[in-house]
Chain A
């Protein structure tokens, strides 16, 4: 066999080796993709409901929170004062779960102010005098 023939044979073997390695890799790394849908619904604009006063400083006490709902919500005629969910400020974190609530109403054209009784269900440490704010949610039916 001539020198050129040997080189050709070696080159062919090298190329075949590369092809085999590539095919082996294709077999090992077979991937499939699928697409799923993701969704979310935001119900009420944030300025529509605002707390206009605060809990008393003693977190173990029963207090009253006033909730003002702006007239922008008149499109939702039935409003139920739902469970106050949590306090926003770290100072009242020990009493963030409010155990009871009261208040039902129907929105008027100019909005509505309703009182919600908030009873901390967990007793926190004694606190210095001051005010704490609490975030109250209103659920719409």
Chain B
């Protein structure tokens, strides 16, 4: 009888410990100890160019611009710029970013014409570490597909970047 009582009591302690663990884990999940944020602080701009035939315009993460084919970049008008993002989270936390897949981001002039964007690149690689203050930042560039006889005008669109905190 004694053995049976002890056995039941042990089961009771194990169950209690499990409950405490659950409560602690729930608290750690539901009550964030440090905010984790990702904000776009600068937009991606391919600047101004003329299109004499099909080609591409690429903006690197450092903001430099390159052209291929019948797209010729001009220095007048809006300047080219890489997109900028700021990250905030726990100090020294590691994170990775996920960029849009090729040709899943489209830009439109609002008049039925569009261009797609491919080859999103960043100045990060693999896992990255937030500073001791929990801050980080990165830039993103991409390549714009310009079709033959692409209509002139101002094209705009949006793209999303995902940060995975490890």
Task: List residues of A whose CB falls within 8 A of some B CB.
Answer: 1, 9, 12-13, 16, 19-20, 23-24, 26-46, 49, 85-86, 88, 135, 137, 139-141
Contacts and interface: CB of A to CB of B under 8 A. Distances in A.
A113 to B, nearest CB: 18
B11 A9 contact: yes
B159 A42 contact: no
A38 B105 contact: yes
Which of B37, B44, B144 gathers most chain A CB within 10 Å? Answer: B44
Given A16-B22, A43-B50, A38 B142 contact: yes
Contact of B107 (A31, A39, A46): A39
Given A34-B160, A41-B155, A49-B52, 20 more contacts: A9-B11, A9-B15, A19-B22, A27-B28, A31-B163, A32-B163, A33-B38, A38-B43, A38-B45, A38-B157, A40-B144, A40-B154, A41-B49, A41-B153, A42-B48, A42-B150, A43-B48, A88-B70, A135-B52, A137-B74
Contact of B164 (A31, A34, A139): A31
Interface string B1-15: 000100110010011
Contact of B74 (A9, A20, A43, A46): A43
A109 B102 CA distance: 44
B92 interface: no
Interface in B1-41: 4, 7-8, 11, 14-15, 18, 21-22, 25-26, 28-29, 36-40
B43 A20 contact: no
B104 interface: no
21 contacts: A1-B4, A1-B8, A9-B15, A19-B22, A27-B28, A32-B37, A33-B162, A35-B40, A37-B43, A38-B105, A39-B43, A39-B44, A39-B154, A40-B107, A41-B154, A42-B50, A42-B151, A43-B49, A45-B151, A49-B52, A88-B70
B115 A40 contact: yes
Nearest to B18: A16
Nearest to B46: A40
